[in-house]
């Protein structure tokens, strides 16, 4: 079986340790499980796998799944991480080997999936311009990928498994679910509080106007109508990001 397909199967099996929405995980059970062992085996198999073999149309789904698998395999390291800086260290450390190259999670996220631009709070891109790993970058950027990447935090997007043939639908589902869970409409439609994630990467959405349009397009009809009745007199705010481990039952 193709290593990317096998990895997707392993991720689907690991989903049994999450609640129905993919929002909270039983990390203790996952750490001792066969499913985590299978994830580790699948990631180890990528050491000799050339990502150039991944179909161009499936490349984004492949890298999203690699990112999420790396997070789940190494999640025990985050047991006592409680703030943004401790989380940042986890994502910056090289931890994945693919075709004799080492990758950090940030290099996959911001280097490959976002077109090699700086992460939130960083001034430099994660990879040099001549880095050979950039040859494996997806050919197109999609801002909805921010809602596909699992971060083990309470404010993280839900855990999901992605398929190249269904990626557009899955990204839209992930974005809509996240916006409806995290965004708020207050002051009778006069204030929209968007998720912090959209403030960090507002440029990916076309600036604050783009952020507002992105959020409004994914609110349920009743909330969107309340905002639209304001005739453009809307204040945009951002909520906080809760870095607490999204432990199931916690």
Per-residue pLDDT reduced to its tens digit, 200-236: 999 999 999 999 999 999 999 999 999 888 877 899 9
What b/e sequence results for 155-172 when a residue is b if at least 16 CB atoms lie within 10 Å of its CB, and e otherwise? bbbbbbbbebeebeebbe
Which residues have C-beta within 8 Å of that of residue 106, sequence separation ≥ 6? 91, 92, 119, 126
Q: Structure tokens of 34?
A: 């066969």
pTM, two decimals, is 0.96
Burial class (CB in 10 A: 0-12, 13-18, 19+), 247: middle
pLDDT digits (tens, 9 = 90+) for 54-80: 999 999 999 999 999 999 999 999 887
Spell out the domain ranges in the chain.
Answer: 3-164, 176-238
């Amino acid at each position: 079986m193709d290593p990317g397909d096998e990895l997707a199967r392993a991720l689907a099996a690991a989903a049994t340790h999450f609640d129905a929405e993919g929002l909270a995980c039983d990390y203790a059970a996952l750490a001792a499980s066969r499913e985590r062992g299978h994830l580790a085996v699948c990631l180890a198999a990528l050491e000799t796998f050339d990502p150039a073999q991944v179909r161009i149309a499936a490349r984004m789904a492949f890298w999203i799944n690699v990112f999420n698998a790396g997070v789940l395999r190494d999640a025990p390291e985050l047991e006592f991480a409680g703030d943004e800086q401790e989380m940042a260290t986890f994502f910056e450390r090289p931890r994945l080997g693919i075709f004799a190259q080492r990758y950090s999670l940030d290099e996959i996220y911001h280097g490959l999936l976002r077109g090699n631009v700086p992460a939130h709070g960083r001034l430099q891109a994660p990879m040099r311009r001549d880095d050979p790993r950039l040859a494996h970058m997806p050919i197109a950027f999609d801002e909805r990928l921010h809602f596909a990447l699992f971060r083990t935090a309470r404010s993280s997007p839900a855990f999901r498994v992605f398929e190249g043939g269904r990626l557009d639908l899955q990204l839209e589902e992930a974005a809509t679910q996240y916006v409806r869970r995290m965004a708020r409409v207050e002051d009778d439609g006069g204030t929209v509080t968007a998720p912090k994630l959209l403030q960090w990467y507002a440029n990916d959405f076309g600036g604050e106007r783009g952020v507002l349009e992105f959020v409004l397009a994914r609110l349920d009809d009743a909330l969107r109508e309340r905002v639209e009745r304001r005739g453009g007199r809307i204040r945009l705010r951002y909520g906080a990001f809760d870095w607490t481990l999204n432990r199931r039952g916690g």
